[in-house]
Amino acid sequence: MATDKKPDQIVFNEDTQRYDASLKPYATNVGAPAIQVTGNSTWKNRNINKANKQIQAKYLELKAEYDKMMQELEYNNLVYNARYNFEPIVGETYHLYRDTQEKPFLSIIAPSDCNFDFMGSFLLNSELIWKKVDD
C-alpha cells in the first residue's frame, strides 16, 4: 500500500498514522521561533575541571589506602617471619626487637623493661593480622 508523503510543514506520525504536532516537546509551526543551540563550552570546561578534581581526589584516597595496606602487609610479614618460641594470643600486644645478628625476634617484654634494639609493638587482631601499635 503506497502512502502519500505529507509536506514537511505537516506533522504526521507515520507509525501511528496520526497528526501529533501538539504532542511534540518543541515548536512545529513554520512561524515558530527558531531553536537556538546555545554554546555549552563554558559548562563543559567547568564540569571537566570539577570531574578531574573529583577523580584526582578519589585516586589520592585510593593510593593512600593502598600504601597503608602495603605497609600493613610489610609489618605482618616482618612479624610472622620473626623468631618467637610461644604461641601469640589474639588481642595481645607483643614487641619486636633485633638481636645481635640483626634478625628480628618477638617478645612479651616491654621496651621499658629491657635494652634490646626495639623495632615496634604489634597487636595480633582477631583476623590473625599483626597491626603496628603507635608508640
88 grid coordinates = 601469640
Assess if residue 10 is contained within a domain. Answer: no
Q: Residue 65: what pLDDT?
A: 97
Assess if residue 92 is contained within a domain. Answer: yes
Assess if residue 33 is contained within a domain. Answer: no
Count of domains observed in the chain: 1
Q: Residue 25: what pLDDT?
A: 76
Q: Tell me: the pLDDT tens digits for 87-115?
A: 999 999 999 999 999 999 999 999 999 88
Assess if residue 94 is contained within a domain. Answer: yes
Chain centroid offset of residue 23 CA? 45
Partners of 12 in the β-ladder: 19
Assess if residue 102 is contained within a domain. Answer: yes
Assess if residue 120 is contained within a domain. Answer: yes
Q: Tell me: the pLDDT tens digits for 16-57?
A: 888 887 777 777 777 777 777 777 888 888 899 999 999 999
Assess if residue 52 is contained within a domain. Answer: no
Residue 90 structural domain: 82-135
Q: Residue 135: what pLDDT?
A: 60
pTM of the model: 0.59
CA gap 28, 56 in Å, rounded: 45
Partners of 121 in the β-ladder: 95, 133
